[in-house]
Amino acid sequence: MAGIDLFDVDHTITRRSSGSRFISLAIRRGVLPYRLLLVVPWYSLTYKYGLFHLRDYADGFPYLRGIARSTLEEIARESFETRLRQDIYAGAVRLLQDCHAAGREVVLATSSFDIIVRPLAEHLGVDGVLASVLEFEGERCTGRFTGTPMFRGEKRQRVLQFLRERGKDPRDCSFHSDSIYDLPLLEAVGRPVAVNPDYKLRRIARARGWQLMDLD
């Protein structure tokens, strides 16, 4: 039985963060406050240097509180069409096409919000998306998460549960990621692939003999 090929999104399939693209456009549209421009660089630096912790975001993203689902979906679509679409690595597109040609399912597994990555998933024609989920009451965002964000151990747990529900053996599956944060899931599949990896993941991948890919 064919396995599933899983892919992280930010810096694995796309050059830039899907979340930062979304936030930048939401600020320009007046949906999010300009003071967030001071927060985003700090978030990016803590993530890049391995200092990011979910406990710092235990209350979710209160800046999104009260915003209509339709507004967030519209910004996500525009963000994809005007920015994120151009960020997609051509090599990633070829890789996903090769997976499909081999008769394997392709699923995105990302800590980004589902509402942000949905346009990308539709464009790529993937078979499924596992992502962090924003909470809504009626049609308004609460600013909180539904469940726990797809990050580190939670991503591993969510993916393994998904594979069990599909009757798939993790040993028959691959996971492609750029980030040391995804080490728990990379260790859980039969074929871990370090794609455009950060320096920590590159070092581990080389030491363990994992496949390394640098996409353009």
Q: What is the pLDDT of residue 35?
A: 80
pLDDT digit string (tens) for 13-42? 999 999 999 999 999 999 999 888 777 666
Domains located in the chain, CATH noted:
4-213 (3.40.50.1000)
Q: Look up the pTM and report it.
A: 0.93
Which residues contact residue 178 at a Cβ distance below 8 angstroms, ignoring those fewer than 6 apart?
8, 10, 11, 12, 194, 195, 196, 197, 198, 201
51 pLDDT exceeds 70? no
pLDDT digit string (tens) for 166-214? 999 999 999 999 999 999 999 999 999 999 999 999 999 999 999 999 9
139 pLDDT exceeds 90? yes
For residue 198 the two structure tokens come to 């950060």
pLDDT digit string (tens) for 103-137? 999 999 999 999 999 999 999 999 999 999 999 99
Q: What is the pLDDT of residue 22?
A: 95
Residue 109's H or E segment, with its range, is strand 105-113
> Binning pLDDT at 50, 70 and 90, where does residue 1 land?
low
- The whole-angstrom distance between residue 135's C-alpha and the CA centroid of its chain comes to 18
